[in-house]
Every structure is written in C-alpha cells, then in structure tokens.
Amino acid sequence: MLAEDPDARQEGPVVSSEDLVVRALGPCRIDSPLLPLLETRQRSYYNVDESDRVLFDDTASALTARGVGVDQVPGFEPAGPRRKIFFDPSKTRAGIVTCGGLCPGFNDVIRGLVMELHFLYGVRRIYGFCNGYQGFIPKYKRPVLELTPQSVSQIAEHGGTILGTSRGQQDPGEIVDCLERMSINVLFVIGGDGTLRGARAICRELDARGAKIAVVGIPKTIDNDIMFIDQSFGFQTAFSVAADVIRTAHAEAKSSPNGIGLVKLMGRHSGFIACYASLARNDANFVLIPEVPFRLDGEAGFLAVLRRRVKESGHAVIAVAEGAGQEHLAASNGETDASGNARLGDIGVFLKGKITESFAAAGMELNLKYFDPSYLVRSVAANPFDAVYCLRLAHNAVHAAMSGRTEAVVSRWHGRFVHVPIALAVRDRHKVDPNGDLWLSVLESTGQPPMPG
C-alpha cells in the first residue's frame, strides 16, 4: 500500500503510469453548465488544466531514478534534522522575536522553539526580545526575557504573543550590536513580509561584519500572502473564526425583510481569508477580494446585481476583504503605516453607505447589518490543526538554525517541509489567482455573476 501520510517516505510497490490511469465510460460530447466559468480562465500556476498531469512523486530522488538529473529540476532544500550540526549546543545562545500584527499561533511557535532547543538539542540559554525589533534597540528600553520550558509551558492556551510585538523598521546595525553584546548565535524571527525583509537586512549586516550568527524565519501572515508556503500558520484558525461571523451575518440577514449581512475581513492584498471563510460555511452570496476588481454601478455592476439578488431571495450575505475595491475609494495620497504599507480606504464603511443609497434610490426596503471582526480573527488562540503546524514549523526552524542555515525561512510546500531563501520568499506576494481553482470554487459556491472591473 502507499503511505497515507504525505510526509512518509518508504519503499513500496513500483507504481507505473498505467496504474494511474482513471477509467472513463466514453467520450464527452455535451457542453458543461460550467462552461461560462471555465472559458474565462487562463493558464496560470494555480490553474491545473484537464490536459495537465500532477506528478505522482515530486522528489528529486524519484526523478533521478527515471534518468532526470537533480540539477536539472529546480527544488527546495528539504527541512529537518541533519546528521551533523554547525553549533555546539552547550555553547549556543538563542534569541526569539515576534513582529507585526497578531496572528493565532504566535505562542505555539515560541513554545515549540524553546522546547526543541532545550530538550532535544540541550540549548539552555534562550532569550525573548520584547515588542518586535524594538527589543534590540537601547532607546526603547524593552525587557529581554529568559525563556525556559517552565515559563512557556502553558502559553499556547492564549492568543497574542508573550513577547509582544511592534511594527516598523529599526537600524540593523543596532540590532546586530545587541546580538553581539549578548553573544547570540541563532536568532529566530517570527513575522511577515516586512519582518522578513528586516531579517534579510540583519543578515547583510552580519555578513559585513563576518559574524557567524544564523537567522531563521518562521513566516507569519494572517492574510496567507507570503510566497512558497502552502498555508501560513494561524490561517486556518483565522478563517474558521471568520466563517462563524459569516454564519452569524447569514442568520441576521434571513431574519429581516430585505436583510443584508455585510462582513469585512482581513486581507490587504490577498483575499484568502474571505475566500476560505465563505467556502467553509457556504452562506455568502458575494465575495469581493483585492485580486478581482469589480464594477460598482451599471446593470452588470455590484449594486444592481445585489438588488436583484435581494429582490429574488429576500436576503444576501457579502464577504469583503479589506483591500477589495480600493479603486472606488479616494487615494491615500501616499500615506503609509508604521510598516510602510499604503493606508487603505475603509471598503466596509464605503459599501455600507453605497448599498444604503442604492436601495433608497430604488425605493426598496433595506435591513443591513455590518460586521468587522478583524481583531477577533487575529487575536484568538490557535486551533488544533494550527497548533500542530506551529510545532512542526518550530522543530524545523531549530533544525535549520543548529545546522548553520541562515537567511532562510521554514515552509511547508506541496505538503513537505522545506527551506526557502528569504530573498525568494519576499520577492513577490502570494495572491488569489482569478484563474485558479480556489476562485473558481468561490464562484461555484456563491453563484455570483461576473462583475467586470
């Protein structure tokens, strides 16, 4: 039998191409009702066409067995423990820092790092730097915590991060000064795109000084928008909480004449939370995301389509990502937040006003309930799936750092834990592909018609 665990590697029966052939009853001659959706899709990385094939075994060893050289196929270095390591655990000092916005699982990762370092590698000096990169800078006077198995044993039961967090850039020179003063050998950075860019700057400063300090990232993004990660930790918890809010909005909408539940969810540039939350409960009738611009006015525009939906069904539920529809809002005039991100207009409040005006102009009754659960979504404790995922990411981060890997993040890619260079992880942003199967599932689930931008 083949191993059910995608992580398992074991010898088994040889599987040939013939073994993978799926029988069909005969040729297909009838146009599918889904043809209008399928014809709009273009070939892309996330769109597996019916003429494609998905590799049975995606490892280099499997390919070399078939005569394909390892160097001929781009591949990530696998994560996991090494037989030889770079740092002497008895002399190693480790640092941990959490940065950026809150995300379910922060504390799980911290706990996993400390437990693995202490019990499996014998590293006894582990320090937590408080409030993000500010924790390294003398002028902020942030405390440094000594982390032990006892001090972190129960922290996974709570949301947030025991180390605190902050946004914004800090001087990498001052950060490295702190690392050298404290004789830190390995630094674990838990954060998103901006945090990882900061980690890369720290690595450049370390290189300039010739300092042998490993910097390993554990990518954190509630929006699931970092490249080459199957899913970021905390994402499953976040969209599960968001899905419950959508269900609440649905109950409210159905309970009133011409009821509308409008739910604004997190997602500045990537609409993954809105997509997955809407699929989890199947209660949303419209999903609006940054990757798919939509027209507001006109017969094919969102407002007209929404009125028709409410007139026909008596209610509607809308899930909108915070970065959706920015083309309809006033520009921020270059304003940015502490992390350097452009300040977004409030699409939730904007849509609430536009929907109210639209129904009033059409002489239609409206009972609209508005939900914005952003902080609830990001501040809860991780669910069991994410708790396991966080622990495994932490284990692999420790293996990477102790073996001397640096300027890399640990990731799960196609079901396997790998090392991804930070430069590659931050090169682009992971987004919902309008031509991919996720967005197609959303369109199938909601039944919303195309609303061209």
What pLDDT band is residue 36 in, cutting at 50, 70 and 90?
confident
The neighbour count for residue 256, using CB atoms within 10 Å, is: 16
436: pLDDT strictly greater than 70: yes
Q: What are phi and psi of 212, to 5 degrees?
A: -90, 75
- Residue 4: the pLDDT is 44
- If one compares 255 and 32, the residue with the highest pLDDT of the two is 255
What pLDDT band is residue 1 in, cutting at 50, 70 and 90?
very low
Instruction: Please state, in angstroms and rounded to a whole number, the distance separating the CA atoms of residues 373 and 51.
Output: 41
The class of domain 89-232+382-425 in CATH terms is alpha beta
- Sign of the torsion angle spanned by Cα atoms 323, 326, 327, 333: negative
* Catalytic member of 49, 71, 177, 223: 223
Please give the structure tokens belonging to residue 252. Answer: 């409210």
Active site residue 57: no
301: pLDDT strictly greater than 60: yes
- Residue 198: the pLDDT is 96
Give the Å distances, CA to CA, from 409 to 119, 199, 211, 388, 397: 22, 10, 19, 18, 8
Q: Could you read off the pLDDT of 184-204 as tens digits, one per residue?
A: 999 999 999 999 999 999 999
Number of H helices, E strands in the chain: 14, 12
Burial class (CB in 10 A: 0-12, 13-18, 19+), 341: middle
29: pLDDT strictly greater than 80: yes
DSSP state of 434: T
Domain 89-232+382-425 and domain 236-379 have a common topology: yes
- Residue 53: the pLDDT is 67
- Residue 9: the pLDDT is 46
Q: Could you read off the pLDDT of 58-107 as tens digits, one per residue?
A: 666 655 655 655 556 677 888 999 999 999 999 999 999 999 999 999 99
pTM of the predicted model, to two decimals? 0.86
SS3 state of residue 42: coil
CA count, 13 A, side-chain hemisphere, 11: 0
- If one compares 36 and 300, the residue with the highest pLDDT of the two is 300
- Residue 62: the pLDDT is 58
- State the virtual CA torsion across 301, 222, 277, 286 in degrees, nearest 10: 0
Instruction: Please state, in angstroms and rounded to a whole number, the distance separating the CA atoms of residues 61 and 195.
Output: 34
SS3 state of residue 250: helix
CB contact at 8 A, 177 and 187: no
DSSP state of 155: G
Please give the structure tokens belonging to residue 402. Answer: 């102790």
- Residue 194: the pLDDT is 93
Chain-centroid distance, C-alpha 261: 25
CB contact at 8 A, 216 and 401: yes
- If one compares 216 and 10, the residue with the highest pLDDT of the two is 216
List the 93-98 sheet strands across, edge first: 77-78, 416-421, 408-413, 214-219, 186-191, 93-98, 125-129, 144-146
13: pLDDT strictly greater than 70: no
CB contact at 8 A, 389 and 405: no
Q: Could you read off the pLDDT of 123-162 as tens digits, one per residue?
A: 999 999 999 999 999 999 999 999 999 999 999 999 999 9
205-224 mean pLDDT: 95
Q: Could you read off the pLDDT of 242-265 as tens digits, one per residue?
A: 999 999 999 999 999 999 999 999
- If one compares 370 and 52, the residue with the highest pLDDT of the two is 370
Please give the structure tokens belonging to residue 71. Answer: 């160097």
Domain ranges of the chain: 89-232+382-425, 236-379
- Residue 49: the pLDDT is 67
Altogether, the residues listed in the chain come to a count of: 453
306: pLDDT strictly greater than 90: yes
Instruction: Please state, in angstroms and rounded to a whole number, the distance separating the CA atoms of residues 437 and 46.
Output: 7
Pick from 37-51, 56-70, 336-350 the range whose average pLDDT is largest: 336-350
Q: Report whether CATH 3.40.50.300 matches the domain 236-379.
A: no
Each residue of 133-158: b (16+ CB within 10 Å) or e? bbbbbeeeebeebebeeebbeebbee
336-360 mean pLDDT: 86
412: pLDDT strictly greater than 60: yes
